[in-house]
Structure 1
Amino acid sequence: MMQLTQFSNTSALNDAFASRLVSILQQAIAERGEAYLVVSGGKTPQALFNTLSQVDLAWDKVTVLLADDRWLDAHQTDSNERLVKATLLQNNAKAARFISLYANVASAFDGVAQVLPRITPLPTFDAVILGMGEDGHTASLFPCSEQIKHGLADNAPAVLAVQPQTAPYQRMSLSLPRLLNSRNIFLHLVGSNKLAVLNKAMAEQDVLAMPIRAFLHHPVAQVTVMYTEN
């Protein structure tokens, strides 16, 4: 199920989104003593991350991890971990705990054995922030990959290695069931082109063609789309 929330501009979206996330994290800390936030990489969330990093919050009780990452160490420019550490895990948010999806082995497929035990024991997430590619992928659940059926399966492990055919680098991605195991799921979109992709995803049901549909059309999970045209 999908709920579309539109904003007049990126600034308004980021302010409202940050406020909502802070409320979710504060409630989690008050009720359970800890909070779990899953974020995505790319250009879209960077301003949001900067805003969140300055919020007065018990960040030492917050665990942050990525929905997916390229199989690169955190010093590489294209690493999502590098991006998150440079933008979100700054200022007040430096106190947060971060769980990496990377291990120092050559292949993501070899790295699953090291990464899986970090993720499997985690409880229900408090908030997951997804992005979406123009091919309808989300996290690193790529429609072009041989691993897509595995990643979307109800019994998929918490993480899986992915080799996209239309994007560089091997990836480590949280699976559909692990991402769905969250109290709040958001899809963060900026630009009219992304709205067109969203409309296409909503118009049909084939999740293998556009994996984001597995979230948008899920019979139980509620996905809140945070969108602005500019």
Structure 2
Amino acid sequence: MAREQLIAMAYHWNEFDDRAALAFALSGKVAALLARSVERRGTALLAVSGGTTPAKFFAALSREQIAWNKVIVTLIDERFVPASSPRSNAGLVAANLLQNAAAAARFVPLYHEAASIEDAARADNEELKALPWPLDVAILGMGGDGHTASFFPDADTLPTLLDPASPRIVLPVHAVSAGEPRLTLSAARILEADFVAVHIEGAEKRAAFDEAMGPGPKKPIRAVLDAAPVPAEIYWAP
């Protein structure tokens, strides 16, 4: 099969006229999937990303009328900073998603005060074993360098982070471009999700995505999409 055909199978492209329309569509899709999971197994597990991109999506999702008291929300990745830090993904989620109807959800953070990022990752790994895996929904973002989750191109353990057979749930990340140590779900746990979406916005992110999916060295976002057992859904708006 030609390389172009393989790339086409790696994802489905969903394009919207504006970011409000994207937020409405993605929140509706995610809410329906969570409600279906609650009906099927009595609970639902959602992992979301941080950054500035998902704020509108979080606000829309927070108003969806589903059984949020049966939904568990965790993070795809987190900086090694407390929730009070402006760089905390947990803080972003608390301020934008865990509001309105979604205030009833249970939130499981990745950051815990610890002597090192390695200690924090080991503690997370044990604590998160109790969650109802696999993920029902994983919402990824993407940086201009082609990273997703905290799978940075210059991470010193990138092959371990991307290992689709890894037994780990949470792993520590050291990368100069990350700015500070990170905690991330392993690619193995993300790839097990029933639904994986990549939420990107703006012309620069689209260009970065197109570059990552083109020829040349494989960037982390491409590695994740290529390894996904079912095509991921890309949600983009200008």
User: What TM bracket, shorter-length normalisation?
Assistant: over 0.9
Contact 1:205–1:213 at 8 Å: present in 2 too? no
Instruction: Determine which of 202, 221, 224 is the counterpart of 1:191.
Output: 202
State whether structure 2 residue 46 is matched by structure 1 residue 27.
no
In the alignment of these two chains, the number of paired residues is 227
1:185-217, CA deviations, whole angstroms, 9 ceiling, x for partnerless residues?
A: 00001001111111112113744xx10012222
Q: In structure 1, what residue type is equivalent to 2:147?
A: H
SS of the aligned residue for 2:119 comes to helix
Q: Deviations over 1:11-60 (max 9, x none)?
A: 11111111111111111111111111110001110011111112211100
Structure 2 unaligned regions, length at least 5: 1-9
Which whole-Å CA distance do the structure 1 matches of 2:227 and 2:80 have between them? 29
Give the Å deviation of 1:140: 0.5
Match of 2:185 among 171, 174, 177: 174
**Mapped contact 1:53–1:89 kept (Cα < 8 A):** yes
- Which residue is equivalent to 1:223? 232
* Structure 2 partner of 1:139: 149
Q: Are residues 216 and 155 of structure 1, via their aligned partners in 2, closer, same or farther at CA, if it must alter by over 3 Å?
A: closer
TM-score, normalised by the number of residues in structure 1: 0.95
Task: Please tell me whether residue 111 in structure 1 is matched to residue 120 in structure 2.
Answer: yes
Q: Is the contact made by 1:24 and 1:127 (CA closer than 8 Å) also made in structure 2?
A: yes
* CA deviation vs aligned residue, 1:106-147 (integer Å, no higher than 9, x gap): 321121221101223431111100000011100111111102
One-letter amino acid of the structure 2 residue matched with residue 133 of structure 1: G
| Structure 1, unaligned runs of 5 or more | none
Which residue number corresponds to residue 152 of structure 1? 162
Distance 1:50 1:202 in 2: 30
Corresponding residue to 1:164 among 165, 168, 175: 175
Report the residue type matching 1:37 in the other structure: L
The structure 2 residue matched to 1:39, chosen from 48, 67, 71, is 48
Stretch of structure 1 that moved more, 117-126 or 91-100: 117-126
Q: Which runs of 4+ in 1 moved over 6 A?
A: none
Q: Name the % identity.
A: 36
The answer to whether the 8 Å contact 2:170/2:185 transfers is yes
Contact 2:162 2:224 survives alignment (8 Å)? no
Show the counterpart of 1:8: 17
Mapped partners of 1:104, 1:75: distance in 2: 12
- Give me the TM-score of the superposition, normalised by structure 2: 0.92
Distance 1:226 1:67 in 2: 17
